[in-house]
Amino acid sequence: MKDLLITEILQEMLPHLDNAQMIQLQSTLTRCLAAHEVTAHNPAEEIATAITSSELLTMFLAAKKVEGCSSKTIRYYESTLRHLLAASARHITHLTTDDLRGYLSDYQERSTCSRTNIDNIRRILSSFFAWLEDENYILKSPVRRIHKIKTAKVIKETYTDEALEQMRDHSAHIRDLAMIDLLASTGMRVGELVRLNRSDIDFERRECIVFGKGSKERPVYFDARTKIHLRSYLDSRTDENPALFVSLQRPHKRLQISGVEIRLRKIGRRLGIARVHPHKFRRTLATRAIDKGMPIEQVQQLLGHSKIETTMAYAMVDQSNVKRSHQKYIA
């Protein structure tokens, strides 16, 4: 308890003292408190410890649900944080920065997971402890001093023009052609694609409204080719299902994410195109849009990203264009 008290005092005085004064203060506090017994009488802390760690987690998840987080995100938060609770015998409000650093280090060593995964865990811990701080269950989040973990930047592949044309030319069904065109021209998420209904498509304006993460609405736009192929597909259907894309076999149920992924993988294997999946269309659109001079803020709106950093991570500028720009402006 003495160490906790000294740490709290030092944290409070950090903005007001220089390094030498901080060292002197720590030495003085340690010496003066050595002969004394320190007991906690913090009402907020007493309230917090009266509530179990599991109950605090449940309250946090409820708050996230109210904020509009998807059920998938909630499940990810819960599994990550319950793993932390299981790994520590201490109450969640008593965990320190060193405890959490040790937890992240041990977790990475045991699971041999990537730095990206560890940083994702750090972000979830940061969100949880920031909430505890905002709700006055703790004085200060112990994750504040755990900085973003550096990760290697991997340039992910995009589809070439030739690969896109190959997929279009060798689509076994008009549905697959319409699906490829819609993904390629709008950059929508596959989850947004499968939730679309026929009535959502505005052929005159060549646009539709999709529901993205957090149930956020945004318009997306498609080209004339997509319009023609999408209309041909819908005209060919005899079912009454309101879904925009349905299974080819009766009873023609709404196509699910796994159905789209499996179909695209089959097309890719047949054509010898590596790693064909829905998200690659989205990354391709973002990369080409930025590469051709579309303002990054507009690409952000098009993709439905809340943070522009996310858009930048999706868009990897074509290196050949960088070389041409260097020759034009510098060489």
**Distance in angstroms (rounded) separating the CA atoms of residues 159 and 156:** 10
Among residues 213, 218, 225, 252, the one annotated as catalytic is: 213
122 tagged catalytic: no
Among residues 123, 140, 195, 279, the one annotated as catalytic is: 279
**Distance in angstroms (rounded) separating the CA atoms of residues 88 and 100:** 10
189 tagged catalytic: yes
**Distance in angstroms (rounded) separating the CA atoms of residues 206 and 188:** 14
* Planar angle of CA 263, 268, 269, nearest 5 degrees: 100
**Distance in angstroms (rounded) separating the CA atoms of residues 99 and 105:** 10
**Distance in angstroms (rounded) separating the CA atoms of residues 172 and 270:** 11
How far is CA 142 from each of CA 87, 92, 132, 221, rounded to the nearest angstrom? 17, 11, 10, 44
Cis previous bond, 278, omega within 30: no
213 tagged catalytic: yes
DSSP reduced 3-state for 251: coil
137 tagged catalytic: no
DSSP class per residue in 269-295: HHHT-SS--HHHHHHHHHHHHHHTT--
Among residues 175, 227, 282, 283, the one annotated as catalytic is: 282
Look at phi and psi of residue 188 and say left if phi exceeds 0, alpha if psi is from -120 to 50, else beta: beta
Among residues 64, 122, 175, 189, the one annotated as catalytic is: 189
Q: Among 117, 195, 180, 116, which Cα is nearest to 154's?
A: 116
How far is CA 241 from each of CA 238, 248, 256, rounded to the nearest angstrom? 9, 12, 14
Q: Helix, strand, coil: what percent of the chain each, to 5?
A: 60, 5, 35
* Planar angle of CA 299, 319, 275, nearest 5 degrees: 75
* Residues annotated as catalytic (active site), given as ranges: 189, 213, 279, 282, 305, 314
